[in-house]
Amino acid sequence: MKASETGSNDTIAAVATAVAPGEGSVAIVRISGPQAEPIGRRLFVPPGDQTWESHRVLYGHVVDPASGERVDEALLLLMRAPRSFTRETVVELHCHGGLVAVQRVLELVLAAGARRAQPGEFSQRAFLNGRLDLTRAEAIGEMITARSRRAAQLAMAGIDGGLQRRLTALRGRLLDQLAELEARVDFEEDLPPLDGAAVAAELATVRGELERLVAEARQGELLRQGLRVAIVGRPNVGKSSLLNLLSRRERAIVTDLPGTTRDLLESELVLEGVPLTLLDTAGIRDTGDRVEQLGIERSRAALAAADAVLLLFDLSAGWTAQDQALRDLVPPGAVLLVAGNKADAGGLPVG
């Protein structure tokens, strides 16, 4: 499919790298569409006799054509259609990072005739122009937002087309069985009897493969999105100390006074390749303190929305009615882990 068939006759541009003040030495302004090369030639001035060839890097300066001012020292990469990510002609201007320089370059590109790209529009054009299938397009987004190494590896498998190949193979097997059935309808007298058991066995095998794909997708979702783990327990049971220990920093204030934590604290970490968001909740108890009551209300809401719950109880005091009441608040679908704390305070270890 050609770009003209998708309706993408205009030229789009955007900053293709993360932009933050004082962060990153290089930023990329990407231009895609029929006017990409003319815009590049208008704004980019290479010294000497450098040849504008596809997939060749040029050195020079981005110049404001209205004033002749040199805006930035940069590299230009030209990728003529269809040998580009979008299968359109693409120009990339590799500028200095930060905020000011790259934004000025983008403003010049837009003033030269490009339109600011919508979020994900480069990938959309790659999909519409047949450069990517839907699974690969989604995998690119997952790679960008990956929060752990395992999530990035999973996204890379999608970019390489692993999922699409498996789906295509399963589709082919189903079409083979459909052809067997339709052949018996049209040419029953000319063919041997249908082996119903073999057809049923093949369909069962394909179904098992599809169920395995669904299970892998759920596991992949956990790797991409992570788990929200609520640390709950009675006041002063050690929730904040545990959060600080797992986070390896003093994230929460710890004192011997009950009710120290009055707001919901979050800490993100990666454990065994799985992103976790730990939620340190206020100790749930009856109190007349309005501020503490608000914290307890947030704790209850976090408990109801958590993927997993770590319920701490005081070993020195044993399992109490308050601990059981907290246990009863855990949502039915959440994973529950009960752990005893303060064994050094005279409690007995539990199995």
User: What is the domain-level CATH number for residue 8?
Assistant: 3.30.1360.120
pLDDT at residue 329 tops 70: yes
- Of 116, 131, 146, which residue is a domain's last? 131
pLDDT at residue 254 tops 50: no
**pLDDT band (50, 70, 90) for residue 267:** confident
Both 291 and 261 in a single domain?
yes
Phi, psi of 264 (to 5 degrees): -85, 120
Both 51 and 105 in a single domain?
yes
**pLDDT band (50, 70, 90) for residue 226:** confident
Of the listed ranges 114-123, 209-218, 239-248, the one predicted with least confidence: 239-248
Both 57 and 68 in a single domain?
yes
**pLDDT band (50, 70, 90) for residue 87:** very high
pLDDT at residue 106 tops 90: yes
Both 175 and 265 in a single domain?
no
Residue 195, number of CB atoms within 10 A of its CB = 11
Cα–chain center distance at 192: 52
Residues contacting residue 173 through CB under 8 Å, at least 6 positions apart = 202, 206
Distance CA 167, CA 119 (A): 28
pLDDT of residue 144: 66
Counted domains in the chain = 3
pLDDT at residue 100 tops 80: yes
Q: Would you state the structure tokens that stand for residue 275, as one six-digit string? A: 């992103």
pLDDT at residue 260 tops 50: no
pLDDT at residue 74 tops 60: yes
pLDDT of residue 291: 52
- Of 175, 201, 225, which residue is a domain's last? 225
102 vs 184, residue with greater confidence: 102
Distance CA 233, CA 36 (A): 60
Domain span including residue 265: 227-345
Which is nearest to 174 in space by CA: 217, 204, 133, 135? 204
pLDDT at residue 38 tops 90: yes
Residue 160, number of CB atoms within 10 A of its CB = 12
Per DSSP bridges, beta strands 115-116 and 12-15 are: parallel
Q: Would you state the structure tokens that stand for residue 314, as one six-digit string? A: 């005081």
Q: Angle, nearest 10°, between helix axes 162-186 and 149-159?
A: 40
pLDDT of residue 123: 87
**What mean pLDDT do residues 192-205 have?**
89
146 is a domain residue: no
Distance CA 114, CA 294 (A): 51
Both 200 and 233 in a single domain?
no
Distance CA 113, CA 198 (A): 62
